[in-house]
C-alpha cells in the first residue's frame, strides 16, 4: 500500500518509530549501559514554546539506592515487563538459554 510505513513498537514502553528510516536504513537502537541515565529531571517552569530542558539525571544504581518508593515501584514494573519480553523472546527462539546464562550465571 502506498503511504503505509512499518513501525516498530517497544515492548517496554510502547513508543514506536518507523522501522526503515529513509536515509539511514533499518532503525538502530542505542545501546543502554548501566552508567547511562535512568531517570532525568526536566524544568517545567518555562513558557509556551520553551520546551522542558533537562536539569539533572540519575543512573539505575542511584535510583535503586535513592530510597524513593516511586522509583522502586517503577523499577519493579519495568522488571516485570522485561521478564515478559525475555520469556517471549525465549519462546520464539530469539534468545537462547546459553545467552541468558552468559549474563545471569
Q: Is 81's pLDDT higher than 80? A: yes
Q: Single out the residue of 11, 10, 9, 8 nearest to residue 81, CA to CA.
A: 11
Q: Is 74's pLDDT higher than 60? A: yes
Looking at the chain, the whole-number percentage of residues with pLDDT higher than 70 is: 97
Domain range list for the chain: 34-59, 67-105
> What H or E segment, with its residue span, contains residue 99?
helix 97-103
Record the cell numbers describing residue 67, joined without a space: 530510597
Task: Provide the pLDDT for residue 26.
Answer: 83
pLDDT band, very low/low/confident/very high, at 98 (cuts 50, 70, 90): very high
Q: Is 1's pLDDT higher than 60? A: no
Report the SS3 class of residue 60: helix
Amino acid at each position: 500500500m502506498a503511504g503505509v510505513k512499518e513501525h516498530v513498537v517497544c515492548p517496554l514502553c510502547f513508543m514506536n518509530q518507523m522501522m526503515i528510516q529513509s536515509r539511514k536504513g533499518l532503525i538502530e537502537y542505542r545501546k543502554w549501559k548501566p552508567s547511562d541515565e535512568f531517570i532525568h529531571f526536566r524544568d517545567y517552569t518555562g513558557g509556551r514554546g520553551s520546551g522542558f530542558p533537562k536539569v539533572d539525571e540519575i543512573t539505575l544504581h542511584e535510583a535503586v539506592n535513592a530510597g524513593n518508593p516511586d522509583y522502586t515501584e517503577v523499577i519493579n514494573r519495568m522488571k516485570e515487563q522485561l521478564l515478559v519480553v525475555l520469556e517471549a523472546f525465549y519462546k520464539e527462539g530469539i534468545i537462547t538459554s546459553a545467552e541468558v546464562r552468559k549474563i545471569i550465571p
